[in-house]
Structure 1
Amino acid sequence: MIDFRYHLVSIVAIFLALAVGIVLGTTLLQDPAVKSAQELTAQLTKTKDELRVQIDQLQGREAGNDAFVTSVTPKLVAGELTGQRVLLVETPGSSTTFREAEQQVLEEAGAEVSGRVTLTEKFFDPDRSGVLDGLVNQLKPVDMVFPPTATVWGKAATLLASTLLTPDQAQAGTPNAATAAVISGFETGGLIGTDGDPAKRATLAVMFAPERAFEGEQAETQLAALVSVADRLDAGGKGAVLAGSAANAGATGGTITALRDDGEVSKRVSSVDTVDMPAGRVVVVYSLREQLNGRVGQYGVGRGASTTQPALQTATPSPTQSGS
């Protein structure tokens, strides 16, 4: 709503400038014409001022709501992810600010962040797909077999997921000995960057979507690659969530839109398009909890979102004792 009003203010300002230009440039500077132009200018100025006040009020309300949600977030998420390890995955063009804010909320929820993996532009470059494919075949365990229809990014993500994630709680926090050289090989090739100790496997993953839409001839291929990575991360552990902003979800060429448009992947991987808001960061935690329980959802306010948040869990009332 605020963005729309900003546009409206801009349009009013344009008309105001046009009105002034007409007054200054016309050769019919007669009293009726001047008076009419002055009245129009006054009305447009009044409308602009009124809209400016409304925008200020809405921004104030939004800031107040965000401050309130931020203050109660520790209580809203307390214990939701206790005992879980979460891997954070950044993609080219994703927001470091959103990732840092989400990491704090995940830790408030009781999760331990195993580390961070940053997928570089080289990883998603179609012109380098042959190099990526060769590296995957070189590093994968002998017993790892890919489906015939798997893309090079699906193969690479499967290998990374087996290295960084596990669905077995007993293996969480331990490295996968069979893929010990994978992280080093991908880093040497400039395909990923790491922080923390992601080799000690996590059970869940949060992947942050690029905040820009892909354009050009290779956009469709790159979007499919990103969606494939999110899907393989989900398969490698107990669940995954793709997080980004509503602007990304609503844009043609946006990763969240592409995931939601994929009828199969959207049945497995959850998405949240409000990670730029305090409330959205809480929803990411709830979505991970929902993934642990075998459920999936597309949440937020952008295109393809089913609702703003998962259904809140309610405690089962204790049976009353007879005679009480």
Structure 2
Amino acid sequence: MIDFRYHVVSIVAIFLALTVGLVIGASILSKGVADSLRSDLSQRNDQIKSQQHQINTLKTQMDQQDKYITDTAGQLVAGRLSGLCVAVVEIAGSDSDAYSAVHTMLQKQSGATVCSETTINASLSTAASSDQEEAMSLLVAEHTPAGQKPAGTVAQESMELIGEALTTYQTPGASAAASTTAASPTSTATSKATTAATGAATSTSAAPGTMTAGEALATLKDYQSAGFITMVTQPVSGEQASLAYIQAPTTANADADNQTYITLAEALRKGGAGTVVGGSGDSAEKAGLVYAIINDSTATREISTVDNTDVTMGQVAAVFCLDAESQAADASAGHYGTGANNDGPLPPIAAGPGS
């Protein structure tokens, strides 16, 4: 007869067999898994070492390239813009160091004449108050030449006027005090009389719908007095800007602000100045000004951009772009720098002056 003790022994034997099987099976499985994991880890380590070697090689090449550009920048740009007049514009929020470096390269190395230097203050892109917007509207009404039809927001209309003022030929002796005012026929007549009485050389007979030299200076003076711009250097007497360089903000902007800045670039180009916009930081990222220009169906064909003016290569590229603009103002724009959709790091290097 099978007693209770037999059942207990049988059950214990069954569980013991299961335990032994699990231990043996787990040991065999663990060894296989561990071997597989060790093999995968070894492969990953090899890949990491290979990629790190590639990174180090590329970094070395980039350092050598940057050093070459830095060492030869002066020779690369020497005299390329000799005798040309450049209107330089800094938009509020730009990389001031990059702007200063480009300014120096234009004036001291490429031989260009910086015939005006302007800062666009933040209040001109996005009016901080209704009072500022009203003041801007009054300036547009006062300084729009007869025959012109402003379009767009009041900020865009203002940029149109500023762009025209910066590209108007400055006759020797022109002054803001002797300017005409398109909004008032009486003011125009008085101004002409003043000019004749003082013997100033200001032109008062500009083509219909355009500014005279005195009107251009008056426009800039009034926008500065209202706090919308800062004129570091007003347009040079006897000069007219044939080129323009704009330093873009480093941060993302509201779409309306980007459109306002694009209006300025287009106005400078319309005034006969081949225009290049330089930027750094997030200017080439979504909502940045360089990005906005590249993705604007019209501006991308007309306004050249450089997205890395915080380094010497970008500064050289800006000079090369301006050089190309001076040789063929109607040529298609180029976009240079480090962005994925750019035309390359530098424009094609044309033969230097005298070559």
Query: Do Structure 1 and Structure 2 share a fold, with TM-score over 0.5?
Result: yes
Structure 1 residues without counterparts, runs of 5 or longer: 1-29, 319-324
Correspondence for 1:157 among 150, 159, 164: 159
Distance across 2 between alignment mates of 1:174 and 1:307: 43
What does residue 227 of structure 2 align with? 190
Shift of 1:241: 0.7
Map 1:1-324 onto structure 2 (within 5 A).
48=48, 51-107=51-107, 108-125=109-126, 128=129, 131-132=132-133, 134-135=135-136, 137-138=138-139, 140-141=142-143, 143-166=145-168, 168=169, 171=171, 176-195=213-232, 197-200=233-236, 203=241, 204-214=243-253, 219-245=254-280, 248-249=283-284, 251-293=285-327, 294-296=329-331, 297-301=333-337, 302=339, 304-313=341-350
CA distance in 2, matches of 1:174, 1:304: 45
The answer to which structure, 1 or 2, has the higher relative contact order (CA under 8 A, 6+ apart) is 2
For 1:284, the aligned partner's letter is: A
Change (3 A) 1:312 1:60: closer
2:118–2:230 contact (8 Å) kept in structure 1: yes
Q: CA deviation at 1:99?
A: 1.0
CA distance in 1, matches of 2:308, 2:56: 22
Query: What is the deviation of 1:50?
Result: 5.2
TM-score by length of 1: 0.71
- Note if contact 2:294-2:335 (Cα within 8 Å) is conserved in structure 1: no
Residues 155 and 59 of structure 1: CA distance in aligned 2, closer, same or farther (over 3 Å): same
Amino acid aligned to 2:166: L
Q: Does the aligned pair in 2 maintain the 1:239–1:288 contact within 8 Å?
A: yes
Residue 282 of structure 1 aligns with an amino acid whose one-letter code is V
Distance of aligned partners of 1:252 and 1:313 in 2 relative to their CA distance in 1, 3 Å threshold: same
After superposition, the C-alpha distances for 1:273-293 in whole angstroms (9 at most, x for unaligned) are 232342332222222122223
- 2:200 is aligned to none
Deviation at 1:96, TM superposition (A): 1.2
Unaligned runs of 5+ in 2: 1-29, 176-212
Cα distance 1:52–1:228, how it changes in 2: closer, same or farther (>3 A)?
same
- TM-fit CA distance, 1:34: 8.0
CA shift for structure 1 position 120:
2.0
- Equivalent-residue separation in structure 2 for 1:142 and 1:103 (angstroms): 30
- Which residue type is aligned with residue 227 of structure 1? I
- Whole-angstrom distance in 1 between the partners of 2:147 and 2:68: 50
**Based on CA coordinates, which of the two structures has the bigger radius of gyration?**
2
Which SS does the other structure have where 1:274 is aligned?
coil
SS of the residue aligned with 1:72? Answer: helix
Distance 1:208 1:133, change over 3 A: farther
CA apart distance, 1:190: 2.7
Deviations 1:68-100 (A, max 9, x none): 112222222222211122222112321112112
Q: Distance in 2 between matches of 1:34 and 1:83?
A: 74
What CA deviation, in whole Å up to 9, does each residue of 1:187-239 have, x standing for no partner?
Answer: 333322332x233265121111122222xxxx221121111121112223422
Mapped partners of 1:136, 1:292: distance in 2: 34
Instruction: State whether residues 298 and 307 of structure 1, in contact with CA within 8 Å, keep that contact through their aligned partners in structure 2.
Output: no
**1:123 aligns to what SS in structure 2?**
helix
Query: Match for 2:91: what amino acid?
Result: T
Once the two structures are overlaid, the 10-residue window that deviates more, 97-106 or 172-181, is 172-181
Distance 1:313 1:59, change over 3 A: closer
Cα separation, partners in 2 of 1:299 and 1:31, compared to 1, 3 Å: same
Q: Secondary structure at the match of 2:313?
A: helix
**Structure 1 pair 46–307 and aligned structure 2 pair: CA distance change class (3 A):** closer
* Letter of the structure 1 residue corresponding to residue 324 of structure 2: E
Q: Separation in 2 of the partners of 1:88 and 1:159?
A: 16
- 1:264–1:192 CA distance, 2 compared to 1 (3 A): same
**Residues paired across the two proteins, number:** 283
Would the aligned equivalents of 1:86 and 1:113 in 2 still touch at CA under 8 Å? yes
